[in-house]
Structure 1
Amino acid sequence: MPRTLPDVKTVALAVTDGMLHFELALAYEVFGSLPDGVAGPWYRLVVCAPGPVRAGRFLLEPDRGLDWLPRADTVIVPGWADIDEPPPADLVDAVRAAHGAGARLVSLCTGAFVLASAGLLDGLRATTHWAHTGALADRHPKVEVDPDVLYVDNGRVLTSAGKAAAMDLCLHLIRVDRGSATANAVARRLVMPPHRDGGQAQFVTAPVPATDHGPLAELIPWVLARLDRPLTVEDLARRAGMSSRHLGRHFKAATGTTPLQWLLVQRIRRAQELLEATDDSVDAVAAATGMGTATTLRRHFNRAVGLPPHAYRRTFRARGRSGLDGGEQRSL
């Protein structure tokens, strides 16, 4: 039987020689330590490998062997470096056994080739690095390969595109397990950019930029405490003691976007948190996030997130009650 959300505590990294060190280190960083300001306990991270292994130029000593994977709640397979070679049979067998034991299986980047070799992607939508989606589709015709998404969530089997998209999926896992506030806290610690290139719907909305000092250090907390108000660029500039044009330059440097665009993203992020954590009506959420009316909130929320507020609430409330089900995906 699949494990339910309250039981998803142990994360195992399934590692062998030839793994991509970026994705491996990324998963280790995200799940290996409790972020500041987040109440514990955090995930228990276990590195599983057949012995000392090399990832790039790094030599890694595992905590357990691959035979330990079926004990984990979530198994993450980092990127597989040489996609022209089949992944090791012991790794494929261990991943398949973990799935059979009820674990949630996650591949980062070309780790999808390992899951596909184990037969875990047959009949499912999946993705991998855009440069290798063709190879994945050719070698595993039973897999519905989607080259245009950051990640695909099939419930117990999840796959991500390459590099930075692996972080999107890791943050998504935390959002599913522990809510949007915790996912955003992790994103802030990792100084994640506030926007993804491509401009299409994203479930992981922009975290607050890390500005411990500089001209925005006092302004941003002030804004976040007043998201229920109809703030303007002039209001922000007045509070920061600078011209609107000067404020725009600082925001562009710190967040990569304009003050109004950043403010809208923060309103959407707050709306997500309220939809997940409260029973407030859409009208109440609109008022609490400075959107004014439910109609305005629905328009902006649907454009930013890719689904209307009531559907978002139903999706995440359903996950919280009954475990990891469904077929959610993220567009580039």
Structure 2
Amino acid sequence: MTGTDRPLVVSLLAGDGVLGAFGLGVAAEVFGYDYTRFGLPRFDFAVVTDRPGIVRTDTGLALYVEHGLERLTVSDIVLVTAWEKLSAPVPPSVLDALRAVHARGGQIVSHCTGAFVVAAAGLLDGRRATTHWRYAGELAARYPAVEVDPRVLYVDEGTIITGAGTASGVDALLHLVRREWGSTAATALAREMVVPPHRDGGQAQFIDTPVARCEDDLLGLVLDWARAHLAEEISVEVLARRALMSPRSFARRFKATTGTTPHAWLLDQRLSAAETLLEGSDASVEEVARLVGFGTAAGFREQFARRRGVSPRTYRQTFRTGAVVRAARDDGDAA
């Protein structure tokens, strides 16, 4: 979704006369404003429905939608927000439109129960997907060809991303921005939205165990320390010692608090730091590997390619130019 001067067309699909208000708000925040100063492209954002006119939201507010499904034929990104009437069949015209978007390589992102619509179109067959944990069992039962994972925040299957409920819609869209336009753009956008810049899709949708406030504060200090010392060798034992806990207790508390393991969290932090360096510095891949705490450049390349789908060099070639142009422009503005 790069290399074009025209605005990218982004359409939010309102389902069966009902629109998810939270999903609309998140989508409008990401795609409804001019963020070209962050290195993002221009977006042409609008809501579509199969029957243009007054569409109510799930909170009762009404919205006038002027665009019909024909807009999907020119959309680069189609967002499918929460679908309220799960028991009713999805209109065939909607399913056909989504299939056509997918067939020509358009990006589809579902939020919450929007995954049911994508699944009804047959686009999730043989793929991993997620939805709000409350509806995951129903999604799996209704569409057995879909590998439903109720634990995660979002699942990236290339041209289809499925997100879980409510706030994970923010995570899924920031992930898309990060994947398509780089870590620098995603971080700047997250700062503008006043949200965390990156939560890995593998994190849990919810946490089972309440955590005492004082332990949260201490764990936060430990995580801040770890982020500032990624170049060092950091083990669970090192983190546990700083938290004044046994390694076993620390690992259990870490999982209960964050929904992921210390190892997975450290890996994600190192990869995120590496992206920032690849975009915004001239450090070699070997130097980046050292600065973010990978033992060898070969190990770094392997992990980066496995988690990001491209090599560090390709990632830099994709996103470095935009970072340099923005930096030069910022320097000129400052002058």
- TM bucket, shorter chain: 0.5 to 0.7
Following TM superposition, by how much is the alpha carbon of 1:276 offset from its aligned partner in structure 2, in angstroms?
A: 5.4
Following TM superposition, by how much is the alpha carbon of 1:143 offset from its aligned partner in structure 2, in angstroms?
A: 1.1
What does residue 10 of structure 1 align with? 9
What does residue 310 of structure 2 align with? 315
Residues 15-26 of structure 1 mapped to structure 2, 5 A cutoff: 15-16=14-15, 17-26=17-26
Following TM superposition, by how much is the alpha carbon of 1:139 offset from its aligned partner in structure 2, in angstroms?
A: 0.8
- CA distance in structure 2 between the partners assigned to 1:308 and 1:103 by the alignment: 28
Relative to structure 1, is the Cα distance of residues 277 and 84 closer, same or farther in structure 2, using a 3 angstrom cutoff? farther
Asked which structure has the greater RCO (Cα within 8 Å, sep 6+), the reply is: 1
1:6 counterpart letter in structure 2 = G
> CA offsets per residue over residues 208-258 of structure 1, 9 Å max, x none?
xxxxxxxxxxxxxxx9xx99999xxxxxxxxxxxxxxxxxxxxxxxxx99x
| SS of corresponding position for 2:19 | coil
Following TM superposition, by how much is the alpha carbon of 1:272 offset from its aligned partner in structure 2, in angstroms?
A: 1.9
Q: Is the 8 A contact 1:24 1:79 kept in 2?
A: no
> CA offsets per residue over residues 60-83 of structure 1, 9 Å max, x none?
222421122021111111111232
* Structure 2: runs of 5 or more not aligned: 205-224, 233-256, 319-335
Following TM superposition, by how much is the alpha carbon of 1:142 offset from its aligned partner in structure 2, in angstroms?
A: 1.3
Q: Is the 8 A contact 1:174 1:182 kept in 2?
A: yes
Relative to structure 1, is the Cα distance of residues 113 and 263 closer, same or farther in structure 2, using a 3 angstrom cutoff? closer
Range 116-125 or range 309-318, more displaced: 309-318
Q: Is the 8 A contact 1:152 1:160 kept in 2?
A: yes
Q: Is the 8 A contact 1:32 1:44 kept in 2?
A: yes
What does residue 55 of structure 1 align with? 57
Following TM superposition, by how much is the alpha carbon of 1:107 offset from its aligned partner in structure 2, in angstroms?
A: 0.7
Matched, 1:182 2:174: no
Matched, 1:192 2:185: no
- CA distance in structure 1 between the partners assigned to 2:79 and 2:280 by the alignment: 28
What does residue 43 of structure 2 align with? 43
Residues 80-91 of structure 1 mapped to structure 2, 5 A cutoff: 80-91=83-94
- CA distance in structure 2 between the partners assigned to 1:229 and 1:132 by the alignment: 41
User: How high is the sequence identity, in percent, across the aligned residues?
Assistant: 42
- CA distance in structure 2 between the partners assigned to 1:118 and 1:105 by the alignment: 12
Normalised by the length of structure 2, the TM-score is: 0.64
Relative to structure 1, is the Cα distance of residues 183 and 194 closer, same or farther in structure 2, using a 3 angstrom cutoff? closer
Normalised by the length of structure 1, the TM-score is: 0.65
What does residue 150 of structure 1 align with? 153
| SS of corresponding position for 1:308 | helix
- CA distance in structure 2 between the partners assigned to 1:68 and 1:108 by the alignment: 20
Which among 98, 103, 109 is matched to residue 101 of structure 2?
98
Q: Is the 8 A contact 1:127 1:146 kept in 2?
A: yes
Q: Which has the higher helix share?
A: 2
Range 5-14 or range 154-163, more displaced: 5-14
Following TM superposition, by how much is the alpha carbon of 1:308 offset from its aligned partner in structure 2, in angstroms?
A: 2.4
Number of residues of Structure 1 aligned to a counterpart in Structure 2? 261
Matched, 1:110 2:90: no
* Structure 1: runs of 5 or more not aligned: 202-222, 231-255, 323-332
Which among 72, 76, 87 is matched to residue 75 of structure 2?
72
Aligned-residue Cα RMSD (Å) equals 4.0
Q: Is the 8 A contact 1:180 1:272 kept in 2?
A: yes
What does residue 28 of structure 1 align with? 28
- CA distance in structure 2 between the partners assigned to 1:197 and 1:124 by the alignment: 19
- CA distance in structure 2 between the partners assigned to 1:124 and 1:77 by the alignment: 17
- CA distance in structure 2 between the partners assigned to 1:321 and 1:264 by the alignment: 22
Residues 224-263 of structure 1 mapped to structure 2, 5 A cutoff: none
- CA distance in structure 1 between the partners assigned to 2:154 and 2:118 by the alignment: 14
- CA distance in structure 2 between the partners assigned to 1:265 and 1:106 by the alignment: 22
- CA distance in structure 2 between the partners assigned to 1:24 and 1:316 by the alignment: 34
What does residue 295 of structure 2 align with? 295
| SS of corresponding position for 1:30 | helix
Relative to structure 1, is the Cα distance of residues 199 and 45 closer, same or farther in structure 2, using a 3 angstrom cutoff? closer
Q: Is the 8 A contact 1:127 1:147 kept in 2?
A: yes
